[in-house]
Amino acid sequence: MKTRTLGSDHLEVSAIGLGCMGMSYGYGPAKDEQEMTRVLQGAVEEGVTFFDTAEAYGPFANEELVGKALAPYRDRVVIATKFGFTFEEGKGKIDGVDSRPRHIREVCEASLRRLGVEAIDLFYQHRVDPRVPIEEVAGTVGDLIREGKVKHFGLSEAGTETIRRAHREQSVTALQSEYSLWTRKHEAEIIPTIEELGIGLVAYSPLGRGFLTGKVTDDMVFEEGDIRRTLPRFRQEAMQANQALVDVVKRFAEAREATPAQIALAWVLAQKPWIVPIPGTTKLERVKENNGAAEIELTAAELKDIEEASAQVRIVGERYPEQMEQATGL
């Protein structure tokens, strides 16, 4: 597996990481722990060194799963986790944001225990907390870095001004935000800003929550607990319209004797050398398939053709319901 570097403090990770959320949360019931352990450990053997989790995934169960599964490989992997949410007691549901310094420290200590590590490799603010100045957040994580409990600071779904203010207080290694062929809003301001500041981009949902693989059909019924049941782009009429983008990806995949997922990931990788996609999956064969994208180098002509063809497709549906979109802080 090729590697890439995030941030000016040079965090080296595999060119394609693994998003672990769906193993415990967000896409129906939590999956079998033993099977997910095999997937996580198999991913390491396939060259993946970058794993993404969060206290919110479960809540808490995903950190425990990742920590236990990757314990034998601790010197070979980078584990990113996140802080910044509060949860309804006993219900396991997010009920708000909280990035007060004391809460950040509490989450850090709890994540260290669940992951079974002495230091968190990359600690993201999961969502911006409008009640807490970002300088306080960055300063608190900076203190944790100096104390040896955290190695790198990250933000997730933050806007340009927030990124700049945080970076002035404490060097930001990476911004994690949604980025793919069907979610490109960050190209206008976010990507130029982080390029200027020397911050890496960790692209979540680079396969459009599975849609760009071509395996999600407009008649598919998502099970209880699958976030796609609530997302505007996964309404039947939206999926029917957005199929045009999948058709574009499929056309290029056929030409390169690749899968649609590989082309969609190769496109993300081709945008900047400091972008690292973290597709999520619960199947080792999909990890292997996704990893194959790192070996596909799209030519300038292919990228131009993809750009022109995809520009003809108008994406129908917002990526989140309005309330959730507002909560991203953008």
| Chain centroid to CA 146 | 26
CA 79 to CA 58: how far, in whole Å? 17
- Which helix (DSSP H) or strand (DSSP E) does residue 51 occupy? strand 50-52
Helix axes 236-256, 300-311, angle to 10 degrees: 160
Task: Give the number of other Cβ atoms within 10 Å of residue 70's Cβ.
Answer: 23
Place of tokens 């006993």: 90
Q: Determine whether 67 is exposed, middle or buried from the number of CB atoms within 10 Å of its CB (0-12, 13-18, 19+).
A: buried
CA 244 to CA 18: how far, in whole Å? 27
The residues pairing with 47 across neighbouring beta strands, listed in sequence order, are none
Residue type, 221: V
**List of E strands, 103-149:** 120-125
- Which helix (DSSP H) or strand (DSSP E) does residue 237 occupy? helix 236-256
Query: Which residues participate in catalysis according to the annotation?
Result: 57
Pick left, alpha or beta for residue 209 (phi over 0 → left; psi -120 to 50 → alpha; otherwise beta): left
| Contact of 124 with 154, CB cutoff 8 Å | yes
